[in-house]
């Protein structure tokens, strides 16, 4: 086998729409073997809690992205060849911390990905990053009622629980303390008596018993 | 809020309690088996996906046990963590060890198909609380089913090894599937008044769904199955060790107030 052979499945960028009419936003990526699998894993990873009405996935190989600095250093990116047709455009506009990084802002007709990137730069000169991909590369969830019900509706009933919801402070704690079964610090490694439960390679070598 | 059906006879109430417990037991044990993959699934995305499925199934168990609580005041946690193997009424399908990924996905597929169809039928239950629970749970189950159907297909049509493992899993699992359609005692009383779906009808729909998928789309061979079907009181030796682990924390600190 080739050294350094990549055993990962292809990476797919995931775009999520929170509500009808809202822009699709890049929320992260998943590895998956094929388009249908990519959508299913995207739903599991990104839509268990937050609300969504639609997901798109796009294979990494079909995305072309660039920052202004990158285009300055490598202007030939604007000549990247590919199929002519409709291209979607996404922008990163701010350095503010955010759960999402790129919003899709619209589509344009282009001779190829490089041309799409060139047009995106002309239309949105202030962006921090441009992203383009052909319409033909988009894998979409269906928008029929059955899909909306089974893929997206359950998340609306699931709420985040604050940490204290899982608190174990109660009258049994006193009992645990008296019985010596009370963990001393939550980040302490597990011990039985004075002995660590797990030994680590960086621990001192144990004394050899003779 | 729809008022619960109040005119259950004592026999009907007992039968419904038995049924709700059996439904919950299936979900609880399957959720546990799925949770054994947490941190061990083939890729991170599937680890998350199976943990999601396990949590959904656990949620369904909790819905059923809450329905039971309405009938007899029993505590769901006591039922889950303080009953012994002989008192569980789950099918053997869900207590079998998790096996490899093909086994886990195929088991989940067979179960998801059954549960999705059972819940779909239970949406029209004349017992309003059950109809509500079914309407809620069926949505998640239909999504599970898409996920596991995809995996069974990918594995069956994948490499020689994935196909061999999937066929082997089918040979092991298929004989246990029939137990899903075994009624609890007096279940017919509840089917007759529209409280529960007719299992024969669910089974016909299940076979019409899974047999073409397995044999047609996936090219798998169904093994011969003995005609005799065991009731829900029949278990394998795998149940007791599973419960030992699943119940260990609750039993170690039985007076914990909040989990």
What are the tens digits of pLDDT across the range B42-100? 999 999 999 999 999 999 999 999 999 999 999 999 999 999 999 999 999 999 999 99
Burial-class residue B100 by CB neighbours within 10 Å (0-12, 13-18, 19+).
middle
Question: Could you list the pLDDT tens digit for every one of the 210 residues in chain A?
Answer: 444 567 789 999 999 999 999 999 999 999 999 999 999 999 999 987 778 999 999 999 999 999 999 999 999 999 999 999 999 999 999 887 766 679 999 999 999 999 999 999 999 999 999 999 999 999 999 989 988 889 998 888 776 666 556 655 555 666 667 777 665 544 445 555 555 555 444 444 444 444
* B255 to A149: CB separation less than 8 angstroms, yes or no: no
Report residue B88 as tokens.
């569980």
When the pLDDT of each residue in chain B is averaged and rounded to a whole number, the result is 94
| Beta-bridge mates of residue B10 | none
What pLDDT shows up at residue A157?
A: 77
- The reply to whether residue B142 touches residue A153, judged by beta carbons under 8 angstroms, is no
- Chain B's closest residue to A163, CA to CA, is B259
Q: Measured between CB atoms, which of B139, B142, B146 is closest to A40?
A: B146
Which chain B residues touch A168 with a CB distance below 8 Å? 256-259
What is residue A14's three-state secondary structure?
Answer: strand
Cβ-in-10-Å burial (0-12, 13-18, 19+) of B90 comes to buried
Report how many Cβ contacts below 8 Å link chain A to chain B. Answer: 62
Residue whose pair of structure tokens reads 């099918």 in the numeric block: B91
For residue A120, give both structure tokens. 């995106």
Nearest residue of A to residue B153, measured between CA atoms: A37
What is the three-class DSSP state of B179? Answer: helix
Cβ of B136 and A9 within 8 Å? no
Residues in chain B: 259
* CB distance B118 to B202 below 8 Å: yes
Q: Which chain A residue lies closest to B142 (C-alpha atoms)?
A: A150
pTM: 0.85
Does B140 sit within 8 Å of A168, measured CB to CB? Answer: no
Instruction: State whether A168 and B49 contact (CB < 8 Å).
Output: no
**Across the interface, do A44 and B147 touch by the CB < 8 Å criterion?**
yes
Name the residue with higher pLDDT: A85 or B5.
A85
Residue A87 CA to residue A105 CA, distance in Å, equals 11
List, for residues B189-230, the tens digit of each pLDDT value.
Answer: 999 999 999 999 999 999 999 999 999 999 999 998 877 789
Yes or no, beta carbons of B143 and A175 under 8 Å apart: no
Nearest to A171 among B49, B154, B257 (CB): B257
Q: How many angstroms separate the CA atoms of B83 and B240, rounded? A: 11
> CA A41 to CA B51: how far, in whole Å?
12
B139 with A149: Cβ contact below 8 A:
yes
Q: What residues in A contact B147, CB-CB < 8 Å?
A: 40, 44
**What angle is formed at CA B97 by the lines to CA B93 and CA B98, rounded to 5 degrees?**
95
Out of A34, A41, A175, the one facing B45 most closely (by C-beta) is A41
Name the residue among B143, B257, B259 with its Cβ closest to that of A150.
Answer: B143
3-state DSSP assignment of residue A195? strand
DSSP letter string over B71-97?
HH---HHHHHHS--GGG----GGGTS-
A43 against B255, higher pLDDT: A43
- Provide the pLDDT for residue B166: 98
Phi, psi angles (nearest 5°) of residue B15 = -65, -40
Strand (E) or helix (H) holding B111: helix B101-122
Asked if A31 lies within 8 A of B45 by C-beta distance, the reply is: yes
């Amino acid at each position: 086998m080739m050294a350094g052979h990549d055993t990962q499945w292809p990476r797919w960028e995931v775009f999520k729409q929170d509500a009808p009419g809202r822009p699709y936003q890049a929320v992260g990526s998943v590895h998956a073997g094929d388009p249908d699998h990519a959508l299913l894993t995207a739903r599991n990873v990104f839509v268990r809690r937050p609300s969504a009405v639609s997901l798109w996935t796009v294979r990494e190989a079909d995305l072309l992205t660039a920052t202004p600095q990158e285009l300055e250093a490598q202007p030939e990116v604007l000549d990247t060849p590919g199929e002519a047709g409709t291209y979607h455009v996404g922008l990163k506009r701010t350095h503010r911390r955010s759960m999402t990084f790129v919003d899709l802002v619209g589509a344009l007709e282009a001779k190829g990905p490089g041309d799409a990137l060139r047009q995106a730069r002309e239309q949105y000169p202030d962006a921090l990053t441009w992203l383009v991909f052909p319409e033909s590369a988009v894998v979409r969830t269906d928008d029929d009622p059955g899909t909306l019900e089974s893929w997206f509706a359950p998340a609306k009933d699931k709420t985040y629980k604050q940490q204290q919801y899982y608190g174990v402070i109660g009258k049994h704690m006193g009992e645990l303390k008296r019985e010596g079964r009370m963990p001393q610090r939550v980040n302490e490694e597990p011990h039985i008596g004075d002995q660590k439960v797990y030994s680590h390679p960086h621990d001192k070598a144990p004394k050899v018993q003779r | 809020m729809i008022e619960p059906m109040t005119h259950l006879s004592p026999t009907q109430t007992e039968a419904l309690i038995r049924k709700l417990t059996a439904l919950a037991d299936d979900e609880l044990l399957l959720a546990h088996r799925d949770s054994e993959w947490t941190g061990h699934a083939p890729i991170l995305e599937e680890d998350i996906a199976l943990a999601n499925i396990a949590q959904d199934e656990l949620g369904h168990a909790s819905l059923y046990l809450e329905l039971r609580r309405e009938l007899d005041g029993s505590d769901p946690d006591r039922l889950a963590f303080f009953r012994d193997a002989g008192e569980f009424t789950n099918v053997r399908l869900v207590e079998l060890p998790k096996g490899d990924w093909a086994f886990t996905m195929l088991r989940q597929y067979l179960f998801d198909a059954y549960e999705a169809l059972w819940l779909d039928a239970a949406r029209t239950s004349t017992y309003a609380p059950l109809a509500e629970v079914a309407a809620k749970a069926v949505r998640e189950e239909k999504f599970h089913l898409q996920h596991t159907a995809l995996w069974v297909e990918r594995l069956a049509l994948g490499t020689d090894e994935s196909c061999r493992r999937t066929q082997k899993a089918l040979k092991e699992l298929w004989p246990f599937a029939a137990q899903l359609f075994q009624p609890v005692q007096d279940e017919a009383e509840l089917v007759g008044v529209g409280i529960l779906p007719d299992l024969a009808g669910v089974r016909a729909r299940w076979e019409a769904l899974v047999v073409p998928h397995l044999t047609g789309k996936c090219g798998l061979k169904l093994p011969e199955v003995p005609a005799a079907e065991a009731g829900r009181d029949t278990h394998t030796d795998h149940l007791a060790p599973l419960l030992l682990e699943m119940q260990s924390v609750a039993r170690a600190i039985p007076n914990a107030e909040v989990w």
